[in-house]
Amino acid sequence: MTERYLLNELDPEARDRFEEHFFDCPDCALDLRAATLFIEKSKVVLADEAAVSGVPALAVPSRRLPRWLAWLRPSIAAPALALLLAVVAYQNLVTVPHLNEALKSPRVLGWTAVNVGTFGSEGNVITVPPGNGFLLFIRIPPDATYSRYTLDLFNSAGKIEWSLPLPAAESLDQWPVQVPAADRQPGTYTVVLHGITPAGEAKEAGRASFELRFQK
pTM of the model: 0.51
Neighbouring-strand partners of residue 208: 121, 191
Of residues 56 and 114, the one with the higher pLDDT is 114
Using CA atoms in the order 7, 10, 16, 20, what is the torsion angle rounded to 10 degrees?
-70
Give the residue-averaged pLDDT of 143-163: 90
Neighbouring-strand partners of residue 122: 209
The SS3 assignment for 124 reads: strand
CA-to-CA distance for 107 and 105, rounded, in angstroms?
6
CA-to-CA distance for 68 and 66, rounded, in angstroms?
5
Q: Is the pLDDT of residue 153 over 90?
A: yes
Q: Given pLDDT bands bounded at 50, 70 and 90, which one contains residue 7? A: confident
Give the residue-averaged pLDDT of 51-72: 53
CA-to-CA distance for 153 and 139, rounded, in angstroms?
14
Give the residue-averaged pLDDT of 116-137: 78
Note the pLDDT tens digit of each residue in 166-195: 888 766 678 889 898 888 899 999 999 999
Fold of 110-214: Immunoglobulin-like (2.60.40)
Of residues 94 and 19, the one with the higher pLDDT is 19
Q: Is the pLDDT of residue 12 over 60?
A: yes
What pLDDT is attached to residue 113?
86
Note the pLDDT tens digit of each residue in 36-52: 766 666 666 556 555 55
Q: Is the pLDDT of residue 154 over 60?
A: yes
Give the residue-averaged pLDDT of 84-89: 67
Q: Is the pLDDT of residue 152 over 90?
A: yes
CA-to-CA distance for 191 and 163, rounded, in angstroms?
10
- What are the CA-CA distances from residue 84 to residues 23, 75, 81, 176 (Å)? 21, 15, 5, 41
Q: Is the pLDDT of residue 60 over 50?
A: no
Calculate what percentage of the chain has a pLDDT beyond 70: 59
